[in-house]
Amino acid sequence: MTARHESWNGGEPRAGTVRALVRFSGELSIKARRTRSRFQKQLARNLRDGFAAEGVEARLRLEWSRFYIEGADRGFLGPLRRTFGVSSCSVLAGECEAELDAIVTVGESLFADAVRGRRYAVRARRSGSHGFSSSDIHQRLGAALNPGATVDLDDPDVTVFVEVRDGRAFFYDDSVRGASGLPLGVQGHALALISGGFDSPVAAWMALRRGIRLDYVFCNLGGRAYERMVVEVTKILADRWSYGTRPRLHVLEFGPVVEAMRARAKPAYLQVVLKRMMYRAAAEIAGRTGADALVTGESVGQVSSQTLRNLRAIENASSLPVLRPLLGFHKEEILERAREIGTHDLSARVREYCDLVPHRPVTASTPAAAEAQEAAVGFEELNGAISGATTCDLRELRPESMVGASLYVTAVPESAEIIDTRPAQAFESWHWPGAVRRDLMELERDFADLDRTATYVLCCAEGVRTAYLAEAMQRAGYEAYSFLGGAPRMRRLLRPPASGSPDRNAF
């Protein structure tokens, strides 16, 4: 469908369309009139961008305290749920003129069947000048619905909502929660450090919810497979939660920085020095892009580098304020929020590359001690990583272009050996003819036993988990690839030609 951005002027709905009432976050109502007007206009822009991004046909009507949406179907509910500044939305069961007799007649026709034999309540609210009150609606419509039903104001099975605004009355029986917060873009621009794990995407989401437009910086410690995973996590934030903006991802190769740290800094300080280097790099990128702050996923006490003293030792490496939305969160809260956002399952597959000190890391560094270790490392490698940073528009990025073709394949090379790393049940349900099943962790540990003269295609459920292993095997001298799209996409290759045998090179 094609997004339509024009507003409509009320009146009777067009045949075959769906209308909805959109409520703003309560924070907007307490703003000064000029500020509120600016916020609501930004919210409208973000909604329209969301509809366009999702291919939804929908039109907006803007009012001071509500938005109204008309669409071909309920497709607009997805973007609405993920647009910050929206408190809730109700799909309208019907509407009529704001006259008491009409409200009773239409309300009865809409809900009589729904409440029959059940407990129900009528809730009405009214705005504007009318010859009746909300109580009049409760009494008249409640009485009309009463035959065959029972009024229960405390625990109803069905609640009939009536909202009267000036010349129209709107009916609905349920509401869909929105993300609330402030419209994205009304609180300036920040740069979020993203690692792909659970914490940093949740921290970024919480900053977005406060109206802060975000770009992202990723300090890559694990190669292209790791980069691919981080990009996929960050794209969820960009594609589903950043309507109205064009987030950019800055990728810095931090391998040489870590090598320099290992050679020149005391081992116990590696975590603290790494964080300081990341802060410096992010602050430099932020300065170039006009960002006003950094956003991180740090939570006090979660790991050794996030003790209060170590955070103090790290803080002054940034020339900009560092925002930590997760400061008081515990891990279970972060995981639950990651599930709500949609990043949890991808983040669960991201390996931990930042753990540089397996034994006895410093937990109570001072700024002076951290600076001394940082100075011992120097900044040559860091400056090289900054100058070599690459940038992409996350919303424009497509999976096939996230990494080079040397790591992923979309066809099965002739004579390649297929290694399927999915669980036994999934493998037995379907697998590529001739494939062998290996446990992913076992294969990671033992792949050196494989024949180096063979070509390997690694397969998993999503096409992500085997990517880092394929890269590790390539570095060890193997010709190994991860199948892009995993088993589902591989299965689609098995469309036999006329001969009846699978075409291993077709796609």
User: Catalytic residue numbers?
Assistant: 460
Q: Measuring CA to CA, which residue among 239, 220, 291, 232 is closest to residue 396?
A: 239
In the chain the first and final C-alpha atoms are separated, in Å, by 27
Task: Determine contact, residues 211/182, Cβ cutoff 8 Å.
Answer: yes
- Cα→Cα distances 100→127, 197, 238, Å: 14, 56, 46
Beta-bridge partners for 220: 253
Task: Determine contact, residues 142/111, Cβ cutoff 8 Å.
Answer: no
d(CA 322, CA 291): 12
- Residue 439 dihedral angles phi and psi, to the nearest 5°: -65, 135
Task: Determine contact, residues 192/424, Cβ cutoff 8 Å.
Answer: no
Task: Determine contact, residues 121/152, Cβ cutoff 8 Å.
Answer: yes
Q: Measuring CA to CA, which residue among 243, 266, 263 is closest to residue 255?
A: 263
Alpha helix ranges (H) inside 265-307: 270-289
d(CA 236, CA 55): 17
The b-or-e profile of 33-62 (16+ CB within 10 A means b, else e) is: eeebeebbebbbbbbbbbbbbbebbbbbbe
Task: Determine contact, residues 490/427, Cβ cutoff 8 Å.
Answer: no
Task: Determine contact, residues 160/145, Cβ cutoff 8 Å.
Answer: yes
Q: Is 111 helix (H, G, I), strand (E, B) or coil?
A: helix
Alpha helix ranges (H) inside 146-198: none
